[in-house]
């Protein structure tokens, strides 16, 4: 479902894996129109249908994945085929994965397994001539006084970027922030393999904070109005998450026991701890633990 947020911003619920409120796409419209993030390949038809029924089917000029993880760029190839004149822009490190998703698919399959990958859907390749890189600080003028400014925001991934809409003091965050939702209003860090880096993630959040945004457009999930408080909470959450995992690793805890302990802790912190955490959150927690462990093993971290 496509919902209008203001005169220039719409949110599309991709209903990822059949679940509402999990993965969002943002449509930003001046005289020209940009989609920031696209969702899973399996959600592409949902996005296309929403655009068609809302009158935007012929009006997408830019496809802008914040990074090439499957829940953000998986549908990019399919949408690129539908919007033949759209320009695709991505961080330089992500360019090759949009052109040829084979390595991305193989790596993700090792993490998620065949069953989940079938549900996510396989990304379609994009012709190389259509994919352009975007530098830190580049501007995309959408017209009508609306400009998107790219910001490299590594940490969640080394090829991650966000977009600042200066006119409305809004940051489209990608996964520079954590996961929260109306159904489960708790903050869960996103620290996946293979290139999560705590110092870079915290620095990216502080860089976003320096813009003094009024709101954040989050892919997982929705619009956050108290932006500065949310950024501060994200920094604290990330640092505490890594510290907890580091402490458990120091006493020899297995990955499975760390996953179990943190999943149970997050479940207890929900508004109604009797309601079990949904599968997609459990998958995210496990993935974030794997990324954090990998990061700690590759880093000289203090006790």
Cα 268 from Cα 152, distance rounded (Å): 35
Residue range 273-286, pLDDT digits in tens: 666 788 889 999 99
Contact between 230 and 19 under an 8 Å Cβ cutoff? The reply is no
Whether residue 140 lies inside any domain: the answer is: yes
Please, which pLDDT band fits residue 301 given cuts at 50, 70 and 90?
very low
Please, which pLDDT band fits residue 268 given cuts at 50, 70 and 90?
confident
Give the mean pLDDT of 262-281: 81
Residue range 151-193, pLDDT digits in tens: 999 999 999 999 999 999 999 999 999 998 777 778 899 999 9
Number of domains the chain is built from: 1
Is the pLDDT score of 302 beyond 60? no
- The range of the structural domain enclosing residue 10 comes to 2-237
CATH (domain of 114): 3.60.15.10
Q: What is the mean pLDDT of the chain?
A: 93
Cα 137 from Cα 55, distance rounded (Å): 31
Give the mean pLDDT of 242-260: 96
Whether residue 265 lies inside any domain: the answer is: no
Whether residue 209 lies inside any domain: the answer is: yes
Whether residue 277 lies inside any domain: the answer is: no
Whether residue 19 lies inside any domain: the answer is: yes
Residue range 34-91, pLDDT digits in tens: 999 999 999 999 999 999 988 887 789 999 999 999 999 999 999 999 999 999 999 9
Cα 123 from Cα 19, distance rounded (Å): 20
What pLDDT sits at residue 68? 97
Is the pLDDT score of 303 beyond 50? no
Least confident of 62-66, 94-98, 133-137, 184-188: 184-188
Cα 153 from Cα 179, distance rounded (Å): 16
What pLDDT sits at residue 26? 98
Whether residue 243 lies inside any domain: the answer is: no
Whether residue 14 lies inside any domain: the answer is: yes
Give Cα 256 distance to the centre of its chain.
25
């Amino acid at each position: 479902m496509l919902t209008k947020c203001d005169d220039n911003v719409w949110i599309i619920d991709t209903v990822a894996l059949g679940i509402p409120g999990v993965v969002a796409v943002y449509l930003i419209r001046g005289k020209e129109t940009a989609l920031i993030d696209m969702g899973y390949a399996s959600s592409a038809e949902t996005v296309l249908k929403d655009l068609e029924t809302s009158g935007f089917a012929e009006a997408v000029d830019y496809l802008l994945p914040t990074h090439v993880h499957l829940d953000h760029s998986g549908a990019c190839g399919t949408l690129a085929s539908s919007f033949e004149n759209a320009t695709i822009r991505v961080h330089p490190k992500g360019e090759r994965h949009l052109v040829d998703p084979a390595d991305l698919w193989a790596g993700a399959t090792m993490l998620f397994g065949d069953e989940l990958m079938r549900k996510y859907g396989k990304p379609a390749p994009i012709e190389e001539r259509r994919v352009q890189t975007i530098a830190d600080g580049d501007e995309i003028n959408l017209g009508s006084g609306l400009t998107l400014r790219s910001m490299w925001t590594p940490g969640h991934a080394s090829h991650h970027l966000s977009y600042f809409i200066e006119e409305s003091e809004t940051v489209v965050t990608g996964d520079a922030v954590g996961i929260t939702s109306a159904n489960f209003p708790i903050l869960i860090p996103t620290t996946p393999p293979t290139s999560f880096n705590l110092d870079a993630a915290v620095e990216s959040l502080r860089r976003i904070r320096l813009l003094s945004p009024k709101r954040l457009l989050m892919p997982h999930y929705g619009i956050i109005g108290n932006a500065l408080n949310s950024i501060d909470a994200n920094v604290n959450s990330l640092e505490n998450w890594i510290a907890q995992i580091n402490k458990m690793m120091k006493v020899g805890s297995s990955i499975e026991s760390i996953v179990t302990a943190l999943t149970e802790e997050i479940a207890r912190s929900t508004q109604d701890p009797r309601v079990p955490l949904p599968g997609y959150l459990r998958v995210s927690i496990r993935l974030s633990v794997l990324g954090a462990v990998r990061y700690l093993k590759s880093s000289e971290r203090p006790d």
